Structure 1
């Protein structure tokens, strides 16, 4: 009996801890009280998601109302891309893609290939050069001697007019993105000169719903030319109080660079999709045109003034965000100021309008939507190339 009692006691002792642990585990646990900070964060996240989702939906609804189907030209076009790399490579691709969708046949070459021999073999109806700065004039003359029409689309007027003035007379058709260069080329003896600003590729620049990390009040994308630096120097203390991102070359030139250094992506080149995401993430995008007399990379000894909108004007507008741009004389030919685009003429006016539109959300969104609609309706590369091909082949 003593042995059995001892064994029974050992078994009870062996299982006692487990039974006690199980018993403790089954004890009711007091409910956790909600974390006020966590709840506030959840509510703010929901509100932000709802706001951006609703805005993105409005943009998509607006895009559904815009439909443009360019005509198909019964032509064989040969397109000579720049082969200059970024930032020209996205432009090369956009033009080629648009031409491919608008012609019966497209042959693509670039300035690094023997495009004269290719033209002689392929016998296209026309050869179109983009930029043209890398194409020797004797090559253009050789193509014209084959009886093939030639055209050039100058993309950097008037900043390289000292160079383009020597090139333009060798083409049958000259297209320039700067209105003030039309008469300039005509005086050189060019018989067919047309004003044709660049446009936008809607597959790249369009409303999107970017990541929360890209959300900002303000953004600016572009290089720090000296005239831009002089302007930004006057508003740096103000911009330092705002949620802003600046991206581009040479921004170390700012007098008070340290005030904005944490918001500047210095020396960073962005492709079209990253640029579009930056525009989409901002409530306001600042656009500032390059000065015609800026000393940086400028070959414009005749001081031809620039009055036409730059390509960013169309790219920003296509993204459905409010654009604040400096005044250009011919801007009103493309957008109605105050209705489809907002403008400024001084550092003080830029600051005032930033404050105003950040406080008037509905007005900001209405202008942005109208600007997006106008862009997709009139200012895509398909629209531009329709004009170009119609001008070259009016019949």
Structure 2
């Protein structure tokens, strides 16, 4: 590839969720930060083949979900290959759609999976783990050590069955605390729990008001019945919350968080007793919380921005002779 590398990022099927739209925007921002505004284009999958023919980018990157039949990447791949260009797919929904991976395995020169364990279940010769990340422009906020913290424990996200089970196990520890659980399915649990949805700007404001943010992974398998792969790598909220200056308690049963953050940056727990000890350590110690938030934010800024992921993709392609 030439020194002035150009890239086209394509995604956006008909049924793409709002959350995926935001992740896609952050990924595009990261590539722009890495390569420069003039060297990065983005296009909806429906028109991406025409954009490739018109602009002839050096690198064509498919991102997002490969599950919906309406999201077909084959045409994009063929357009790039006719021009001799490198094609990459970043599977940002792994491992929840793993059974449908055959839809992309023959269309791209390299595949990057957001899940470390999920990356082991492709049959493609060039598969690599590439976790999601955060965006400086959209997620970073200076930490104010003097800000009030009216919320003791915050969680935002859908009340999947796995999350409900974890919270039920923690109820004794949470009793008497000022709670803020927001997302579909939580409202039936009573005071401090709400079914409402909020946008990213509102969530960032809540991060600043919370002493502790619970980080609970999801377990919603659309097409993951063949191998039943347990999600391993941290999701994007982990990096987003760190950039926002939140103190996170990460529910961990795979230890994958330690590939991204140390225990001093993002404390983890796997049972009620460990969670209780973390509360005792952090809840009424603002200096400890401030130090932990600063360490996590520093790590996210140095290692876990989407610009870092873009650089990792380029370095990996160069290492295997595809760039």
Q: Same fold (TM over 0.5)?
A: yes
Matched with 1:244 is 179
Change (3 A) 1:336 1:171: same
Q: How do 1:375-394 residues align onto structure 2 when only pairs under 5 Å count?
A: 375-394=300-319
CA contact (8 A) 2:8 2:61 kept: yes
Q: What is the alpha-carbon distance in structure 1 between the residues aligned to residue 113 and residue 200 of structure 2?
A: 22
Matched with 1:138 is 74
Aligned match of 2:199 in 267, 271, 281?
Answer: 271
How far residue 245 of structure 1 moved from its aligned partner, in angstroms, is: 0.8
How far residue 167 of structure 1 moved from its aligned partner, in angstroms, is: 2.0
How far residue 151 of structure 1 moved from its aligned partner, in angstroms, is: 0.9
Which consecutive aligned stretches of 4+ in structure 1 deviate over 6 angstroms post-superposition? none
SS in 1 for 2:137: coil
The alignment's C-alpha RMSD in Å is 2.4
How far residue 360 of structure 1 moved from its aligned partner, in angstroms, is: 2.6
Q: What is the alpha-carbon distance in structure 2 between the residues aligned to residue 237 and residue 332 of structure 1?
A: 27
How far residue 305 of structure 1 moved from its aligned partner, in angstroms, is: 2.2
Q: How do 1:9-28 residues align onto structure 2 when only pairs under 5 Å count?
A: none
Q: How do 1:365-376 residues align onto structure 2 when only pairs under 5 Å count?
A: 365-376=290-301
Q: What is the alpha-carbon distance in structure 2 between the residues aligned to residue 81 and residue 169 of structure 1?
A: 17
Matched with 1:115 is 48
CA contact (8 A) 2:6 2:40 kept: yes
Matched with 1:93 is 25
Tell whether 2:272 aligns with 1:336.
Answer: no
With 140-149 and 191-200 compared, the bigger mean Cα shift is at 140-149
Tell whether 2:138 aligns with 1:204.
Answer: yes
Change (3 A) 1:209 1:378: closer
Tell whether 2:208 aligns with 1:284.
Answer: no
Q: How do 1:181-330 residues align onto structure 2 when only pairs under 5 Å count?
A: 181-185=118-122, 188=123, 190-208=124-142, 215-236=150-171, 238-252=173-187, 257-258=189-190, 260=191, 263-268=192-197, 270-291=198-219, 296-301=220-225, 302-327=227-252, 328-330=254-256
How far residue 348 of structure 1 moved from its aligned partner, in angstroms, is: 3.3
Change (3 A) 1:115 1:333: same
Query: Could you give the per-residue CA deviations for residues 167-213 of structure 1, whole angstroms, max 9, x where no partner exists?
Result: 2332111011111122211xx1x122111001101222223579x89
Q: What is the alpha-carbon distance in structure 2 between the residues aligned to residue 157 and residue 80 of structure 1?
A: 18
Tell me: higher relative CO, structure 1 or 2? Use CA pairs within 8 A at least 6 residues apart: 2
CA contact (8 A) 1:214 1:278 kept: no
TM-score (structure 1 length as normaliser): 0.72
CA contact (8 A) 1:246 1:264 kept: yes
Q: What is the alpha-carbon distance in structure 1 between the residues aligned to residue 294 and residue 141 of structure 2?
A: 10
CA contact (8 A) 2:113 2:128 kept: yes
SS in 2 for 1:124: coil
How far residue 144 of structure 1 moved from its aligned partner, in angstroms, is: 4.2
More helix by share: 1
Higher gyration radius (CA): 1
TM-score (structure 2 length as normaliser): 0.87
Corresponding residue pairs, total: 308
Q: What is the alpha-carbon distance in structure 2 between the residues aligned to residue 334 and residue 392 of structure 1?
A: 22
